[in-house]
Amino acid sequence: MSLISAAPSPVGHLSDRHFRSIAQLIERQVGIRLPPGKRIMLEGRLHKRTRALNYSDLNEYVEQLFTADQLDHELTHLIDVVTTNKTDFFREPQHFSFMREIAVPALLSVRGRRTCNLKIWSSASSSGMEAYTAAMVLDDMIRTGSRFQFRILGTDVSTAMLQLAKEAIYPRDALAPVPENLAKRYFLSSVDRSRQEVRMVPELRRLTHFMRMNLMDASYPIDRDVDIIFCRNVLIYFERETQRKVVEQLCTHLRPGGYLLVGHSESMIHSAVPGLKQVQPTIFRV
């Protein structure tokens, strides 16, 4: 018989008041809207955190959250819990074809003979698959004769996702959308075969950096001559005015002629941003 009793499983639902206070906090901090329809989802995600902290009830967790010294520390975890981090290698693959066939040649053609160092920014990078997909495509272009160098920055508000992105270790299944020749070239298999994991090769990890950045911040600590910004599948969580502000601010970090790529359900965002030209439904240029 075990003498260690399991932590009691948190029960119950969030009260209206507690749901509202969490929803307001999250929207203020990271822009993500949590309308009443998301309540069950939020409760489900908070259960795990509540259990980890040994609270017996979701409402107790929220009460504690708002006590003086808790919030700063707990907010990082709360953000990890409420963000939706779904991503894939080669997600929305036409963006990577566009980058290879149109965007990079166009960006190189205006730089003349100078060695060109392209800057790519994955601005809601999740676990890094978007940034590493760009790295694979660009490196493959160089191997097949294009003359440029590149650096990639991935930013996200979720600390847990950034940790995964830096480690660059993924389940082998995640390679399904990666063309076979690229998967062979750019991923190392775990020495322990039973782990079914792969890791991005160090050559591309060295060119890809990750740091925490909140798209809601009043200014972004990022260069102002970025060539291509990916901002995909994050704007949908923001309300319209927040989307507009974020896109407007992102554009101030693009070099003239630079590209902004958004997710397929986000194609309408450009209308209120001056100077942004639509090239394709989800591709914009300044």
Ligand X SMILES: C[S@@+](CC[C@H](N)C(=O)[O-])C[C@H]1O[C@@H](n2cnc3c(N)ncnc32)[C@H](O)[C@@H]1O
Residue numbers annotated as active site:
45, 156
Q: Return all residues near 139 (Cβ < 8 A) that are at least 6 apart.
A: 150, 186, 203, 204, 207
**Minimum separation from the CB atom of position 32 to ligand X (A):** 5
Structure tokens at 65: 């959250």
Confirm or reject binding of residue 200 to ligand X (CB under 6 A). Answer: no
Q: Are 10 and 47 in contact (CB under 8 A)?
A: yes
Cβ(246)–Cβ(253) below 8 Å = no
Q: Is 65 in the site for ligand X (CB under 6 A)?
A: no
Cα angle: 10, vertex 36, 69; to 5 degrees: 55
| Contact flag: residue 32 with ligand X (CB under 6 A) | yes
Q: Which of 65, 99, 198, 215 binds ligand X (CB under 6 A)?
A: 215
- Cβ at position 232, least distance to ligand X in Å: 4
**What is the token pair recorded at 79?**
């953000």
Q: Is 158 in the site for ligand X (CB under 6 A)?
A: yes
Binding flag, residue 164, ligand X (CB under 6 A): no
Choose, by CB under 6 A, the member of 84, 94, 249, 267 that binds ligand X. Answer: 84
Distance (Å, rounded) from C-alpha 215 to C-alpha 113? 35
User: Which residue, chain included where needed, has tokens 């990022």?
Assistant: 222
Amino acid symbol at 172 = R
Residue 27 makes contact with ligand X by CB under 6 A: no
Tell me: does residue 23 bind ligand X (CB under 6 A).
no
Among 108, 174, 211, 216, binds ligand X (CB under 6 A): 216
User: Site size for ligand X, by CB under 6 A?
Assistant: 23
Q: What is the DSSP letter of 260?
A: E
The CB-of-7 to ligand X minimum distance in angstroms stands at 27
Strand order in the sheet with 208-212: 208-212, 149-156, 117-122, 226-231, 254-262, 283-285, 277-280
Note whether 83 binds ligand X by CB under 6 A.
yes
For ligand X, the closer of residues 74 and 156 by Cβ is 156
Q: What is the DSSP string of 30-70?
A: H-----GGGHHHHHHHHHHHHHHTT-SBHHHHHHHHTSTTH
Scan residues 226-245 and list those touching ligand X (CB under 6 A): 232-234
Please pick, from the candidates 62, 103, 107, 161, the single residue that binds ligand X as defined by CB under 6 A: 161
- By CB under 6 A, is residue 62 in contact with ligand X? no
Are 121 and 155 in contact, with CB atoms under 8 Å apart? yes
91 makes contact with ligand X (CB under 6 A): yes
CB-wise, 83 or 208, nearer to ligand X? 83
Binding status of residue 124 toward ligand X by CB under 6 A:
yes
Query: Do the bridges between strand 117-122 and strand 226-231 make them parallel or antiparallel, or are there none, so unpaired?
Result: parallel
Chain contacts with ligand X (rule: CB under 6 A): 30-32, 83-87, 91, 124, 126, 130, 156-158, 161, 214-216, 232-234, 263
